[in-house]
Amino acid sequence: MTRLYSIGIDLGGTNVKFALIKNSKKVVDKRVLATKDYKTKEELISQLALTVSDILRVNKIKRSGLTGLGIGAAGLVDFNRGFIHSLTNIKGWDNVPLGKILSGKLKVKVFVDNDVNVVTLGEHKYGAGRGFDNLVCLTLGTGVGAGLILNGSLYRGPSFTAGEVGHIPINVRGPKCNCGGRGCLERYVGNRYIIQMAKKLAADNKQSKMYKLVEGKVNKLTPKIVSEAARLKDKAAIQVWQKIGQYIGVALSGLINLLNPEIIIIGGGVSLAGKPLFDSIRKTVSKRAMPNPASKVKIVPAKLGEDAGVIGASILAASEKNK
């Protein structure tokens, strides 16, 4: 019997999303759980198994019709062993052999990987990165991370920590970063620092749309509101994205000089800022990166949006090539 189906799970701090996928790309069924409804990891793992069983039952799919189950989770994951060392947004998940537990319960193959790697696989196979063998998929949000496809394969690194673009230092004497380093990219363009910059610019420009959108309560500013103000042509908001784009562009220039990628895909909440951000990144790269690799690289927004996680996770299960 041909195995047509795979299941992808996006294990996040807020939600756990499931997708049943047919022929590697068609989403046939979806489920969402609220992560916080489950008090312990044991409860949540049981619910993962129950939900998968239920998806199979409802869709009348036998286990023999499933290539496997793929899971993406934000944290340090040993892909080879399906072992979670730690999760960034869910407490109590240190040293969990999730692959082994779930494959024991469900009698299907289970693959577990880092969430950004999984999104990168998704963008590579079905999104903005189709047809490119060398790409960087950057996610901008609270944290700044990336997945690397090099010579056609996901590059995880020997201890599975590769891709930490957010912790490339762009300033030798820069401010301290959570990671222990100094002047890391994330320390300039992580959500909270974007908000910090926006607050200051809004407070200094009380006529700005950014200031007016929050009725002067600058503590209410979010990257989304800054984007909205920028779309309304607010100079202060546009200035925020220009500065953020410069920092990102400088870090990407180093990455381009080092890895010579064909395409850099940018996703995550912050990327929704769109044109003013991307214009600034591209301008900085064309000024700062070396001419040859700069002329070869495209810098584009991600395509898969909120489904990138489940689709990417299902790819882990659909193709042994991603091992």
* Contacting residues toward a second copy, per CB under 8 A: 76, 133-134, 148, 150-151, 153, 155-165, 167-173, 179-182, 246-247, 250-251, 253-255, 257-262, 287-293, 296
Residue with smaller CB distance to a second copy, 203 or 259: 259
Question: Hey, what are 170's tokens?
Answer: 């762009």
Pair 185, 165: CB distance under 8 Å: yes
Task: Report the nearest approach of a second copy to the CB of residue 83 (Å).
Answer: 14
Q: How far is the CB of 205 from a second copy (least distance, A)?
A: 24
Distance CA(68)–CA(318), nearest Å, equals 7
Question: How far from 34 is each of 12, 39, 52, 67, 99, CA to CA, in Å?
Answer: 9, 11, 15, 26, 21
**3-state SS assignment for residue 138:** strand
CA distance 107 to 68: 9
CB under 8 Å to 270, separation ≥6 — which residues?
140, 141, 189, 191, 194, 223, 244, 277
Closest distance of CB 145 from a second copy, Å: 10
Nearer to a second copy, 65 or 174 (CB): 174
123 versus 234: smaller Cβ distance to a second copy: 123
- Determine how β-strand 83-87 pairs with β-strand 75-78: antiparallel
CB of 262 to a second copy, least distance (A): 5
- Which sign, positive or negative, has the C-alpha torsion 146, 151, 152, 156? negative
Residue whose CB is less far from a second copy, 8 or 145: 145
DSSP symbols for 230-289: HHTT-HHHHHHHHHHHHHHHHHHHHHHHHH--SEEEEESGGGGG-HHHHHHHHHHHHHHS
Judged by beta carbon, residue 91 or residue 173, the one nearer a second copy is 173
Cβ of residue 240: shortest distance to a second copy, in angstroms? 16
Measured in whole angstroms, the distance separating CA 56 from the mean position of its chain's CA atoms is: 27
Q: Tell me how far, at minimum, the Cβ of 233 lies from a second copy, in Å.
A: 27
Q: How far is the CB of 174 from a second copy (least distance, A)?
A: 8
CB of 189 or CB of 229, closer to a second copy: 189
125 Cβ contact partners less than 8 Å away, ≥ 6 residues apart: 24, 312, 315
Choose between 58 and 290: whose C-beta lies nearer to a second copy.
290
